[in-house]
A and B are shown apart, each in its own frame.
Chain A
Amino acid sequence: MADVRVEKLRRQFGSLVAVKDITFVFPEHAVTCLLGPSGCGKTTLLRMIAGLERPDAGAILFGDRNVTALPPRRRDVAMVFQYPVMYRTLSVIENIELPLANDRTLGAVERRQRVDEVIEILELGKFRHLHIDRLDLGSRQKVAVGRAIARRTAVTLFDEPTTNVEVHAKLALIRAFKEMRRHVKQTIIYVTHDQTEAMTLADQIALMHEGQIVQCAPPRELYEQPSSEFGGWFLGNPGMNFLTPQPAPQGGFQFDGLPFPLFAPNAGAEEIRLGIRPEHVRISRLPVPDGVPARVLRSAIGIGGQRLVTLVVGNSRIKAKIPPPSHPPEDAFEIGAEVFAVCPIERAILFHGGERLAEPPRRLAASPLAAR
Chain B
Amino acid sequence: MSRIRFERLRKSYRGSVALDDIDLDIEPSTLTVFCGPPGSGKSVLMRILIGLEAPSAGRILFDGEDITPLPAADRSIGYVPQSFALFPHMSVFDNLAYPLALQGAPRGDIRARVQQAARMVRIDRLLDKRPSQLSGGEKQRAAIARGILKNADIFILDDPLVGLDFKLRESLMEDLKDMRTEIGATFLYLTADPLEALTMADHLVVMDGGHIVEAGAVEAVYDHPAHLRTAELVGFPRCNILPAQMEGSSLVCRSDIGRFRVVLEDGGAASEVMLAIRPEDIAPAVSTAAPPAVGKVTLLENLGSETVVYVRTGETTLVTTIPAAANAVVDLGDAFPFMIRPGGPIVFDRSTHRRVGRLAETLNG
A residues with CB within 8 A of B: 37-39, 171, 174-175, 178, 193-196, 199-200, 219-220, 223, 233-239, 277-279, 298, 300-306, 308, 321, 324, 327-329, 332
* Interface positions of B from 299 to 356, Cβ below 8 Å from A: 299-306, 308, 310, 320-321, 323-324, 327, 332, 341-344
> How far is the CB of B244 from the nearest CB of chain A, in Å?
19
Judge whether A304 and B304 touch: CB under 8 Å. Answer: no
Please, how many angstroms separate the alpha-carbon atoms of A225 and B110 in the complex?
A: 47
Name 14 A/B residue pairs within 8 A (Cβ), A-sorted: A37-B165, A38-B136, A171-B310, A195-B304, A199-B302, A219-B302, A220-B302, A223-B304, A234-B167, A298-B177, A301-B219, A303-B321, A304-B236, A327-B341
Please, how many angstroms separate the alpha-carbon atoms of A304 and B167 in the complex?
A: 20
Please, how many angstroms separate the alpha-carbon atoms of A300 and B33 in the complex?
A: 13
Encoded as 1 (CB less than 8 Å from any A CB) or 0, chain B from 234 to 251 comes to 011100000000000000
Please, how many angstroms separate the alpha-carbon atoms of A238 and B306 in the complex?
A: 12
Judge whether B198 and A301 touch: CB under 8 Å. Answer: yes
Within 8 Å CB of A220, what residues of B?
A: 302, 324, 327
Within 8 Å CB of A306, what residues of B?
A: 280, 306
B170 at the interface (CB under 8 A from A): yes
- The B interface, classified by DSSP as helix, strand, loop or mixed, is mixed
Instruction: Name the residue of chain B whose CB is nearest to the CB of A238.
Output: B170
Instruction: Name the residue of chain B whose CB is nearest to the CB of A321.
Output: B305
Within 8 Å CB of B135, what residues of A?
A: 39
Encoded as 1 (CB less than 8 Å from any A CB) or 0, chain B from 164 to 178 comes to 011100100000010
Judge whether B304 and A237 touch: CB under 8 Å. Answer: yes
Encoded as 1 (CB less than 8 Å from any A CB) or 0, chain B from 253 to 290 comes to 00000000000000000000000001110000000000
The residue that A304 contacts in the complex, of B166, B306, B332, with Cβ under 8 A, is B306
Instruction: Name the residue of chain B whose CB is nearest to the CB of A236.
Output: B304
B91 at the interface (CB under 8 A from A): no
Instruction: Name the residue of chain A whose CB is nearest to the CB of B317.
Output: A171
B218 at the interface (CB under 8 A from A): yes
Judge whether B305 and A305 touch: CB under 8 Å. Answer: no
B128 at the interface (CB under 8 A from A): no
* Interface positions of B from 29 to 84, Cβ below 8 Å from A: none
> How far is the CB of B247 from the nearest CB of chain A, in Å?
23
Within 8 Å CB of B136, what residues of A?
A: 38
Query: What is the size, in residues, of chain B's interface with A at 8 Å between Cβ atoms?
Result: 43
B195 at the interface (CB under 8 A from A): yes
Please, how many angstroms separate the alpha-carbon atoms of A111 and B300 in the complex?
A: 33
Instruction: Name the residue of chain A whose CB is nearest to the CB of B170.
Output: A238
Please, how many angstroms separate the alpha-carbon atoms of A306 and B324 in the complex?
A: 13
Instruction: Name the residue of chain B whose CB is nearest to the CB of A335.
Output: B202
Evaluate whether A302 and B199 lie within 8 angstroms (CB atoms) in the complex, with A175-B298, A195-B166, A279-B323 already known.
yes
Judge whether A237 and B219 touch: CB under 8 Å. Answer: no
- The A interface, classified by DSSP as helix, strand, loop or mixed, is mixed
> How far is the CB of B129 from the nearest CB of chain A, in Å?
17
Evaluate whether A327 and B344 lie within 8 angstroms (CB atoms) in the complex, with A301-B222, A303-B195 already known.
yes
Please, how many angstroms separate the alpha-carbon atoms of A148 and B198 in the complex?
A: 40
Encoded as 1 (CB less than 8 Å from any A CB) or 0, chain B from 106 to 137 comes to 00000000000000000000000000000110
9 smallest beta-carbon distances between A and B, as pairs: A327-B343, A304-B321, A199-B302, A305-B280, A279-B305, A301-B198, A324-B280, A304-B279, A236-B304
Within 8 Å CB of B237, what residues of A?
A: 303-304
Please, how many angstroms separate the alpha-carbon atoms of A17 and B282 in the complex?
A: 49
Judge whether B304 and A305 touch: CB under 8 Å. Answer: no
Please, how many angstroms separate the alpha-carbon atoms of A15 and B306 in the complex?
A: 41
Judge whether A302 and B198 touch: CB under 8 Å. Answer: yes
Within 8 Å CB of B343, what residues of A?
A: 327-328
B25 at the interface (CB under 8 A from A): no
Judge whether A302 and B170 touch: CB under 8 Å. Answer: no
Within 8 Å CB of B223, what residues of A?
A: 329
Please, how many angstroms separate the alpha-carbon atoms of A38 and B165 in the complex?
A: 8
Encoded as 1 (CB less than 8 Å from any A CB) or 0, chain B from 195 to 206 comes to 100111100000
> How far is the CB of B13 from the nearest CB of chain A, in Å?
27
Judge whether B302 and A305 touch: CB under 8 Å. Answer: no
Given pairs A195-B166, A200-B302, A233-B167, 8 additional interface contacts (CB within 8 A): A175-B299, A196-B304, A219-B302, A279-B323, A303-B321, A304-B280, A304-B321, A306-B306
> How far is the CB of B289 from the nearest CB of chain A, in Å?
20
Within 8 Å CB of A237, what residues of B?
A: 166, 170, 303-305
Please, how many angstroms separate the alpha-carbon atoms of A196 and B237 in the complex?
A: 13
Within 8 Å CB of A328, what residues of B?
A: 343
Judge whether B166 and A235 touch: CB under 8 Å. Answer: no
Instruction: Name the residue of chain A whose CB is nearest to the CB of B341.
Output: A327
Within 8 Å CB of A305, what residues of B?
A: 222, 235, 278-280
Judge whether A300 and B166 touch: CB under 8 Å. Answer: no
Please, how many angstroms separate the alpha-carbon atoms of A235 and B302 in the complex?
A: 11
Please, how many angstroms separate the alpha-carbon atoms of A195 and B200 in the complex?
A: 22
Judge whether B199 and A308 touch: CB under 8 Å. Answer: yes
